[in-house]
Chains A and B, each alone.
Chain A
Amino acid sequence: MIDGLLIGLGTVLVPENLLLVLAGCAIGTLIGMLPGLGPISAIALMIPVTYGLDPASGMILLAGVYYGAIFGGSTSSILINAPGIAGTVATAFDGYPLARSGLAGKALAIAAYSSFAGGTLAAMFLVMSAPWLSDIALGFQSADYFLLMLLGLTLVSAFASRGEYLKALVMTCIGLMLATVGTDLTAGVQRFTFGRSDLIDGISFLVLAMGTFALSEAMMMAMSRDDTELSDLQSRLRNTNMKVSRREAAELAPVIGRSSVLGFLIGTLPGAGATIASFLAYGAERRMAPTSVEQADKSSEDTPFGEGNIRGLAAPESANNAACTGSFVPLLTLGIPGSGTTAVLLGALIAYGIQPGPRLFIDEPGVFWAVIISMYIGNVFLLVLNLPLIPWIARLLTIPRNYLIPIIVFFSMMGVYLVSFNTFDIQLMVIIACIAVVLRKLSFPMAPLLLGFILGGMLEDNLRRAITLSDGSWSFLWDRPITLSLTILTVVALLSPALHISWQKLRGVL
């Protein structure tokens, strides 16, 4: 392994390849900042350029683009509530409120530090464990994915603000229902498409996220008439201070550590991915947060989750980056792409005449290790590249809102259109945004909707696969040790609030 690391270092640490990492990060960040245009588009754009390079250099460039695009995506999430890619939707939950409260510089800085830490930690895990992690990925069957998604759904209670559990539950159900639109994978029939061929592939997550977040936010801004509050906000937004205090850093460190491990492990599963990782990390962190009573005792400064909590920003950011690194495990060691982005990367590798798989790090150690080292270096470059730019980027918010609102509307529509080149998606997004505005006015939370939507499709497909595979029996829930442990974990998660209450009652009696 040490030999491999040295080979990798030797390949990456030549001026030409360092320049490629830098170029990749810069290009990726720029593309990723445009809402909707994520790593898939960025990499697809760059692939033709890499044909002239040798495979290691090509992959180094593409890995840089990949990381840059993810990082850029979080910038638009934080600043204008328009998630650049699915993986940064959860970043907007607390990042955007934080930026609106006048701490845009700090929010961007925390995002940069968390991404860096998540990516770097994950790159280390990858170096230590890639060869045997592929075995874990191959241990996960459809039944296990089903339970993992179910476990994710139990987090919904964490997404509810105080006393709004019913509303959060309603939104989750709507999300689950929206996920059933389109062609049903198992039976091959169309559901709820109303005869419209535009709906045969279902509703795209990007359209739903942009409609419920970016566009409805722009509408809400246009509707608010409180100018005094706004001018006050304008002056606060000029504050681009990005300092993170020592106390905050100490508070964030364990969050980043936990979220990175979680994100990396979920990223290594070919059927999960960065979006799920970021949602789960956010939900887990929010669930772990002290309840309101305890919070009041501990510190009154803590902002509740969903209103600009720094832990709610750090968790999805580090998990997202760690998961992206994790997704290289099945790609490089098994040759299996777990996400759209890694599928595009696999195409690029094959085009160079390299087949990823169990023999890659024996046959092509140069490529294998160079990619891993370039991930690490890419993270360093991203941090160095972006920290000095943050004060400038954060100034975007000081644009007067009569200009800012059209900018948000323009970019969200353009982003959605450039992914599918279908005007129907824009119409659908506008309809979704109008409904979302009404629901938001009635204080229905939007995050559970997205959680239900993103987990719903995979929940159903995997459940139906598991049932088909076990010939209609439910025994798959306990047949294999992995499944059994996940089943127990899910049951405990579902029952824990009830258990907690009865325990306290019991204690009161004694």
Chain B
Amino acid sequence: MMVSATLSKASLCCVASFQRLALFVALALSPTALNAELLPKVHFLIPAGPGGGWDGTARGTGEALVKSGLVTDVSYENLSGGGGGRAIAKLIETANRQHFTLMISSTPLVVRSLQGIFPQNFRDLEPIASVIADYGCFAVKADSAIKDFADVVARMRDNPRSIKVAGGSVKGSTDHFVFAKAVALADINPRQTVYVAYDGGGKAMAGLLTGETELLSTGLSEAIDMARQGEIRIIGITATERLHDAPELPTLNEQGFPVEFANWRGFFAAPGLPKERYQKMQYTLRKVVETDAFDTVRARNQWTQLYHEGSAFTDFLVEQERDIGNLMRELGFLR
């Protein structure tokens, strides 16, 4: 692969063909690369248009599959509509033709099933594995008087409306949930707090920087670089323990607020396929997350590794569905 990397620098238009050539040579030289346990080809079903988080994760995983030589025949299909519901319906309806299909999804799958945006939930599909996660985090401006989450709680005990909280998505989305869960643990009624919804993480960040809001609840990947530049300070993340990649960030857990939340992204397959087919899918994903190529993609996007497969993934989903469902009921989004 080094060969192709050097070549691509020299000639732009030939990148693709050279990569394929290099790959072909690599495969010809090492027949062990073709493992019987791996899927012979992978088709990624992406329930959204090109350019978003789902698209990036599926294509990133595909890139790692190809570059590491695990699977060379990789294709992609974008099918948006209905907040992802259209792709789910297609996967179920055409299950007998989807032997090589992996559908990407993430936490909104759980949230939208609960909201009834689509009638199916993850039990109607075959959960294969989660591959990455983005933890939630709370951030303040660098010069803010707020030092940790206890400061937020102290001020909100006096007046729950005193701190305006920005989030990059609608009320009732994960940015909102994570904050609601954290204050609820401190016996503050989340329904009395002020959550200000912005259209996208970038605009929410701008809202924090203009000073119209004091606290930002967002995904860690959207905030970590601004924090490293010293523009903002992250006062708590929703991982259980400090992260290997960013040990300087305090967890909410260690501050006495056991909020654990991972916005996972993972893959699902059509229901009712032979069991050995699912095992091959799991094995393929387990192998790919171990590759250097996947590490490169992961680091590039500031994703944290979160690998659960098969029944462990299903258990994780059941637990998350229960947590989020309870919270949505508390907040009045579900009856």
Interface string of A54-92 (1 = CB under 8 A from B): 100000000000000000000000000000000000000
- A475 contacts the other chain (Cβ, under 8 Å)? no
- A503 contacts the other chain (Cβ, under 8 Å)? no
Bound CA–CA A350/B83 (angstroms): 27
- B164 contacts the other chain (Cβ, under 8 Å)? yes
Contact in complex: A188, B301 (CB < 8 Å):
no
Contact in complex: A188, B172 (CB < 8 Å):
yes
Please, which residue of chain A has its CB at the minimum distance from the CB of B118? A197
Q: Which of A99-107, A162-170, A303-311, A331-339 is the contact stretch? A: A331-339
Expressed in whole angstroms, the minimum distance between the Cβ of B254 and any Cβ of chain A is: 27
- A502 contacts the other chain (Cβ, under 8 Å)? no
Contacts of B85 on A, CB cut-off 8 Å?
197
Expressed in whole angstroms, the minimum distance between the Cβ of A464 and any Cβ of chain B is: 9
Bound CA–CA A469/B81 (angstroms): 33
Contacts of A335 on B, CB cut-off 8 Å?
205, 225-226, 229, 231
- B329 contacts the other chain (Cβ, under 8 Å)? no
Interface size for chain B: under 10, 10 to 19, 20 to 34, or 35 or more residues?
A: 35 or more
Expressed in whole angstroms, the minimum distance between the Cβ of A455 and any Cβ of chain B is: 14
Contacts of A496 on B, CB cut-off 8 Å?
none
User: Given A141-B212, A271-B203, A421 and B12 touching (CB < 8 A)?
Assistant: no
- B256 contacts the other chain (Cβ, under 8 Å)? no
Expressed in whole angstroms, the minimum distance between the Cβ of B15 and any Cβ of chain A is: 6
Interface centre among B81, B117, B207, B302 (most CB of A within 10 A): B81
Interface centre among B199, B202, B205, B226 (most CB of A within 10 A): B202
Bound CA–CA A475/B318 (angstroms): 47
- A493 contacts the other chain (Cβ, under 8 Å)? no
Contact in complex: A351, B300 (CB < 8 Å):
yes
Contacts of B5 on A, CB cut-off 8 Å?
52
| Contacts of A100-147 to chain B: CB distance below 8 A | 137-142
Contact in complex: A336, B231 (CB < 8 Å):
no
Expressed in whole angstroms, the minimum distance between the Cβ of A250 and any Cβ of chain B is: 40
Contact in complex: B50, A44 (CB < 8 Å):
yes
Q: Which listed residue, B86, B197, B213, B300, touches A188 by the CB 8 Å rule? A: B197
Expressed in whole angstroms, the minimum distance between the Cβ of A55 and any Cβ of chain B is: 12
Please, which residue of chain B has its CB at the minimum distance from the CB of A271? B203
Contact in complex: B12, A186 (CB < 8 Å):
no
Contact in complex: B202, A343 (CB < 8 Å):
yes
Please, which residue of chain B has its CB at the minimum distance from the CB of A356? B225
- B272 contacts the other chain (Cβ, under 8 Å)? no
Interface string of A331-371 (1 = CB under 8 A from B): 00011111010011011001100010111000000000000
Contact in complex: B81, A424 (CB < 8 Å):
yes
- A40 contacts the other chain (Cβ, under 8 Å)? yes
Contact in complex: B164, A469 (CB < 8 Å):
yes
Contact in complex: A344, B51 (CB < 8 Å):
yes
Contacts of B199 on A, CB cut-off 8 Å?
185, 461
Q: Which listed residue, B12, B173, B207, touches A49 by the CB 8 Å rule? A: B12
Contact in complex: B81, A198 (CB < 8 Å):
yes
Contact in complex: B210, A140 (CB < 8 Å):
yes
Contacts of A48 on B, CB cut-off 8 Å?
63
- B240 contacts the other chain (Cβ, under 8 Å)? no
| Contacts of B282-317 to chain A: CB distance below 8 A | 300-302
Contacts of A49 on B, CB cut-off 8 Å?
12, 15
Bound CA–CA A183/B200 (angstroms): 14
Q: What is the count of residue pairs linking A and B with beta-carbon distances less than 8 angstroms?
A: 141
Bound CA–CA A73/B78 (angstroms): 23
- B228 contacts the other chain (Cβ, under 8 Å)? yes
Bound CA–CA A350/B209 (angstroms): 20
Interface centre among B5, B79, B196, B228 (most CB of A within 10 A): B196
Contact in complex: A198, B82 (CB < 8 Å):
yes
Expressed in whole angstroms, the minimum distance between the Cβ of B31 and any Cβ of chain A is: 28
Contact in complex: A359, B229 (CB < 8 Å):
yes
Contact in complex: B171, A187 (CB < 8 Å):
yes
Bound CA–CA A499/B85 (angstroms): 54
Contact in complex: B15, A139 (CB < 8 Å):
no
User: Given A185-B170, A357-B229, A200 and B83 touching (CB < 8 A)?
Assistant: yes
- B333 contacts the other chain (Cβ, under 8 Å)? yes
Contacts of B300 on A, CB cut-off 8 Å?
350-351
Contact in complex: A465, B172 (CB < 8 Å):
no
Interface string of A183-204 (1 = CB under 8 A from B): 1111110000000011011000
Bound CA–CA A367/B55 (angstroms): 27
Q: Which listed residue, B49, B117, B198, B211, touches A197 by the CB 8 Å rule? A: B117
Contacts of A419 on B, CB cut-off 8 Å?
49
- B80 contacts the other chain (Cβ, under 8 Å)? yes
Contact in complex: A188, B80 (CB < 8 Å):
no
- A41 contacts the other chain (Cβ, under 8 Å)? yes
Contact in complex: A270, B81 (CB < 8 Å):
no
- Sorted nearest first, the 4 A-B pairs with minimum C-beta distance are A52-B8, A197-B82, A188-B172, A188-B171
Could you give 15 example pairs across A and B, Cβ below 8 Å? A53-B9, A138-B206, A138-B209, A185-B197, A188-B172, A271-B203, A335-B225, A336-B202, A344-B51, A347-B301, A350-B300, A357-B226, A422-B86, A465-B196, A471-B161
Known: A52-B5, A197-B118. 8 other contacts (CB 8 A): A44-B51, A141-B212, A336-B206, A340-B51, A347-B56, A461-B197, A469-B196, A471-B161
